[in-house]
Amino acid sequence: MLKLRARSAALFGFIVAAAICGFAPQSAQAGNIYTLQCSWCTTVNDFKGQAGFAAAQRGHGGTFQVVGGDNALSAYIRVSGQHATTCDSNGECRSYFRVLSMTSVTSGGSPAGTAADLSRNDAEIFGTSRPQRIPPIALPTAYQSSIINSLDEEIGPGINAALVAKGINPGSIPVGTVVKVMFADGTSATFIKISGSSSLQWEWTGDAWDANGNPINRNGTPKTNPNVGGFFGGSAEGSFVDREGANVVYSMTTSSKCIKIVTISVNGIRWGSWLGWTSCP
């Protein structure tokens, strides 16, 4: 797990000081994404600070996926800057990366400046809304046995039934909650709650996986990776105690072409892993 220590506001302010003329800003390119963890980050500015510090340490900009380990917030921070050189009185020079701008965005690159945006990012990354403490749920086969060629109208009532079986009142789950649903044939998918009163309460998010954890479309065909190659790296972990008292741990790593691999364990027993194509803002 990659953890970076926070520096003082004064030091960080020095890093992001005014630009030196004559250098062109360096922007993030498709495929350049770096994952790190920030257990203390709670605001957009906190996440920006962690990403800016990481960029200065690494010596380059890019998109930093900053995951809150002890909270249910995560951010994509696009960092740009320039390489500069400073020389001392003895003529000895050193090069460094100067951060010029930091922008909070969604995985698709849209502005994300609120706590609600950070919460949605987190649910997208881990496939669940961690504040609700709901690990992947098994859908009763009486409703549907596969995500393939299924309908939301079939699966929604099954999600509610599975929650009731766990002692969770579906009516207490707020709109916007994301849950990961496991099917009898080994496929899985994530659904988001869109209503608390209408007949259609749960809607597919667009993410689904085959029995081996590979992304698929609703008809079961493989989902292709839209990203080009680039720089990458890092890992993060999120955990919570579910409503039945089990310790649920999500571990995530990023790999080439913005691939993320998420592994979940419950009370130390691995439930499985799934792979995803993280958009490169």
Q: What's the pLDDT score for residue 31?
A: 60
Domain residues for the domain of 201 are: 130-209
CA-to-CA distance for 148 and 220, rounded, in angstroms?
Answer: 5
CA-to-CA distance for 179 and 173, rounded, in angstroms?
Answer: 11
Same domain for 149 and 105: no
* Ranges of H-type helices in 168-229: none
> What would the pLDDT profile of 96-110 be if each residue is shown by its tens digit?
899 999 999 998 889
Same domain for 192 and 99: no
pTM greater than 0.75 (yes/no): yes
Domain annotation covers residue 2: no
More confident: 173 or 28: 173
Question: CB of 239 within 8 A of CB of 249?
Answer: yes
Boundary of a domain, candidates 162, 178, 209: 209
Binned at pLDDT 50, 70 and 90, residue 64 comes out as very high
Binned at pLDDT 50, 70 and 90, residue 1 comes out as very low
> What would the pLDDT profile of 163-219 be if each residue is shown by its tens digit?
999 999 999 999 999 999 999 999 999 999 999 888 899 999 999 999 999 999 999
Boundary of a domain, candidates 70, 99, 122: 122
Q: What's the pLDDT score for residue 159?
A: 97
Q: What's the pLDDT score for residue 30?
A: 52
Beta-sheet strand order (sheet of 137-138): 137-138, 178-182, 188-193, 202-209
Domain annotation covers residue 255: no
* Structure token digits, residue 82: 């320039």
Number of domains in the chain: 2
Q: What's the pLDDT score for residue 25?
A: 30
CB pairs under 8 A, 24+ apart, for 116-122? 117/44, 118/44, 118/47, 118/68, 118/73, 118/74, 118/75, 119/72, 119/73, 119/176, 120/176, 121/73, 121/74, 121/75, 121/76, 122/67, 122/68, 122/72, 122/73, 122/74, 122/238
Span of 11-20, 62-71, 185-194, 246-255 with lowest mean pLDDT: 11-20
Q: What's the pLDDT score for residue 160?
A: 97
Same domain for 156 and 77: no
Boundary of a domain, candidates 122, 156, 182: 122
